[in-house]
Amino acid sequence: MDIPDIFERLRKGETIPPNDPQAYKMREASYNTKKLLVRMNNAADPKEIRGLLSQITDSEIDESVAVFTPLYINYGKHTKIGKDVFINFDCVFLDMGGITIEDGVLLAPKVSLLSESHPISPENRQSLVSKPIHIKKKAWIGANATILQGVTIGENSVVAAGSVVSADVPDNVVVGGTSAKIIKEI
């Protein structure tokens, strides 16, 4: 019986146990991404940074995208970045579950987008569970905010600095806190 590719299974939200016969592919891919990240994070030319990020994500990064390195990504090929996106220093993307960043999104320093997690039960904790993150157009994610797996951030919405977002955020609101709650409408 043919087992579908592990990266396909991750994108579909399948729980991957540590003894999965393809689990080694995740680490292998992460080390390959790291080689490109080292080059990207030591580059100063915006065009070179976008070119290396295009290789990491296996997609074209538009010239309107600005990335202030360092940026840390564990896989890359499940990250999609729109136009006019700004990614500030020290952001972290764990993208095996998928990360979509639409046009006009602003990510402040130290934003973490974590599409991966682990089961709570100790006997299964080494397994990997993934769900996609979707950040819609013109959202602004404040400094040191963390967006957890399975979350959609609505269009034009703002996530306050230091927040942890564990549930979907509607369009046109400001959220803040741990777990983030709606503070006001825009």
134 in active site = no
Catalytic pick from 27, 118, 125, 181?
Answer: 118
User: DSSP states of 77-133 as a string?
Assistant: TTEEE-SS-EE-TTEEEE-TT-EEE-TT-EE-TT-EEE-EE--SSGGGTTSBEE--E
Between the alpha carbon of residue 12 and those of residues 68, 76, 113, 126, the distances in Å are 31, 16, 18, 19
C-alpha of 72 from chain center: 10
Residues marked active site are found at: 118
